[in-house]
Chain A
Amino acid sequence: MASKTKATPAAGGEVLTYNKGTFRNSALVRQQTLAAYLFLLPALFFFVLFVVVPMVMCLVTSFFDYRMGKPLTFVGLNQYIKMFQDPTFLKALVNTFILVIVAVPTVTAFSLWVSSVVYKFSAFKRSFFRCIFYLPVVTGTVAVAVVWKWMFNKYTGLINYVLSATGVIDQNISWLGDARFALGCIILILFTTSIGQPIVLYIAALGNVDPSLIDAAEVDGANNFQVFWHIKWPQIMPTTLYILVITTINTFQCYALIQLLTSGGPNHATDTIMYYIYYQAFKLNDYGYGDAMGVILAIIIAVLSAIQFKVAGSGSGD
């Protein structure tokens, strides 16, 4: 086999050539590779044990009738067929998509808007606003849910109190107990708990945009929108992509808020796939069915993430 050669300019401009096969010792490469794998091994071990193995088990058991106290029975695609004939699952699927479609763009756009203002502040003020917006992220979901539950309370809630006092409503509303409002309330809470991380990331990303490019564009007469669209937006695209993917995944996996606030009600108005998986697996002990829904959810998230990578990736390439 012919060995590869590479030309490199020497200091004096003379072109030297070296033979890779001559300068690289294959034993050394093997050692380096082995060392790399050994360093990876501990993390890989836990990743395989706690992520890959459960994923594979989930996939396998989705083809079985797997319930507590019942013999494991192979049922082929029956769980998947049952799933798409289950009106509660379909309702949960629709609700989850509504959450994603509304929450992800809103969170991303709002975060970008706030960040584009905050990143210009002095370091002290920037830190202050970062803290404020990040507080809901570090506050426990349970605490957040308790506060919101109180605010939405039909009898003693702050929202009804304010709306009654200002004459907007004449009768108290059960915000979380009324199918017309419940999902909207969940979206609002999800929004407030989701914007912290994107804002911090956007502030950092905007701060890293090369100011000389902005100066040059402004000297050339570019207005604010043109500076944003042609200079900043392409440079923060990787951050946007990350935020889109992470927010999408988190929204698809919305469970705790539902469990703590509505249990999927009223009339399944706030059922999400993740909550329904929990209900089937842990309340009814129908693990096979829960696993099948988990597989479908994973596929949906993977496909949407791939689309986001494709679209946003091509955008950043521009």
Chain B
Amino acid sequence: MKKQLSLLLAAGMTAGLLAGCGGSTSSTATESTASSTSSAATGETSGDNLSADITMWTYPIGQFSDADTVNSIITKFQESHPGINVTVEYLDYTNGDDQVTAAIEAGTTPDIVMEGPERLVSNWGAKGKMLDLSDLWTEDAVADISATSQAVVNACKGADGNYYEYPLCMTTHTMAINKEMFEAADALQYINEDGTWTTENFEKALQALKDSGVDTTMIVYCGGQGGDQGTRALVNNLYSGQFTNADHTAYTTDSDANKKALQQLLDWSNEGLISYDAAAQASDELQLFANGTVAMTLCWNASNQAQYASSVTFTPMAVAFPSDDGVPELCGGIWGFGIFDNGDDTKAAAAKEFIKFLCDDPEQGPESVRLTGFFPVRSSFGDVYTGTEDEDRMAQFSSFMQYLGDYYPVTAGWAEQRTAWWNMLQQIFTGTSVDDAVATYTTTSNDALAAAAA
């Protein structure tokens, strides 16, 4: 009797468990069906009467990482699109890529993702995971964005001619100096009023800082890929090298100009004018800059300035990367939206409506840009910071937009290149000759580029 009871109990527990699983499956299926029936019943795949539940994943881009801010945008959006519900998940740069990769493999990608062309276009877009957004790129939009920068339009377009990103904002990445430290070393004289300087004057400034007793003038950080645009921009600008060729079909770090720049950095390091740290990434270097340990940072932009403004006890002054001719080519950052190809036309249409609201709406568009802390890609938006408390701060960075260089992070094999880059720097600063380290880097990167293009 006892055994029979046990048997019954076990059977009951198992059945309950299975029922639980089954119930869940069944309920999901029902929800899914209901949703699709509802969409089908309304027959609305465009316009304000769309009905769909969509999801958006966003990387931490300005206040788009803040749930309250994003929820308030969604509330405004739903006033005109009451049938579209938007659920947001907030990623970070530490494991956001892993989450997206896992979602792609599991077939559970969100509808919208907010990031830049290096991910949306050259990674997921090139791998066929994103929807073509050409219909959002109307002639007006192309003209408006081109008027700001043709590089933005090019960056959002894949090698197949499809647009995989609809951009919202952009910025240039700069350096920053500790103004008081430079003043004390009488090194400000080497920087032009517009924030540019030559390689020759940069060296003089390093020497002046060193002579004035500054222990750590600048750090070539290479502990990982975080903030690597800083070291890339430094190397490329010192002697006007290019990171890739014009059509992004080859990495050109092995050019004489780039090798000369790398050798120069090594020489400065050996002379004690700069430091090298294979354990530091940009975040570590920024922290050291913020606490006054190091005199300058290679990883600065308007967003960083806003973030660190309240915590620093000195004046962080944005400056361009030094270049031999005094005319820098700065790395840009472009952020916008892409839509994963989830095979649901209704959701895709709803996602496009939300993106249009965020980027193109006459009121929400400029507001969205302000929330990112960067600059609009649409020239028609004008200066979105006029009359705001950020006006002065942003004007400083706005002056650097004229130096925006080629947006090369859309080059194929980008992920492999990033690791190879900081590995190359580590090799150079630990004894490998510049020629050998650069040769290894170039081979690795161009092999990856060829494999990705195949």
Contacts and interface: CB of A to CB of B under 8 A. Distances in A.
Interface of A: 28, 31-32, 34-35, 38-39, 41-42, 45, 68-70, 149, 152-156, 174-179, 182, 261-263, 265-268, 279, 282-285, 287
B100 to A, nearest CB: 10
Contact of A267 (B13, B14, B416, B423): B423
Interface stretch (B262-270, B275-283, B322-330, B362-370): B275-283
Interface string B14-34: 100100000000000000000
Contacts of B246: none
A39 B3 CA distance: 13
A278 B415 CA distance: 13
B419 A266 contact: no
Given A32-B3, A174-B280, 8 more contacts: A35-B10, A39-B13, A155-B293, A265-B224, A267-B278, A282-B101, A284-B415, A284-B416
Contacts of A178: 278
Place the interface of chain B in its size category.
35 or more
A68 B109 CA distance: 14
A289 B4 CA distance: 51
Contact of A42 (B17, B128, B284): B17
26 contacts: A32-B3, A35-B6, A35-B10, A41-B14, A42-B14, A45-B17, A69-B126, A69-B127, A69-B129, A154-B279, A154-B280, A155-B293, A156-B288, A174-B278, A174-B279, A174-B280, A175-B279, A176-B279, A261-B279, A263-B224, A263-B281, A265-B423, A266-B279, A283-B415, A285-B101, A285-B127
A47 to B, nearest CB: 14
B279 A69 contact: no
Given A69-B129, A178-B278, A284-B416, A265 B288 contact: no
A148 B404 CA distance: 39
Contacts of B293: 155-156
B7 interface: yes
Contacts of A283: 97, 415, 419
4 closest pairs, A vs B, by CB? A69-B127, A177-B279, A177-B278, A266-B278
Given A42-B13, A262-B279, A68 B101 contact: yes
A156 B280 CA distance: 12
A175 B430 CA distance: 14
Contacts of B224: 263, 265
Contacts of A268: 423
A34 B222 CA distance: 60
A167 B101 CA distance: 49
Contacts of A70: 127
Contacts of B105: 68, 287
Contacts of A262: 223, 279
B11 interface: yes
Contact of B288 (A39, A155, A176): A155
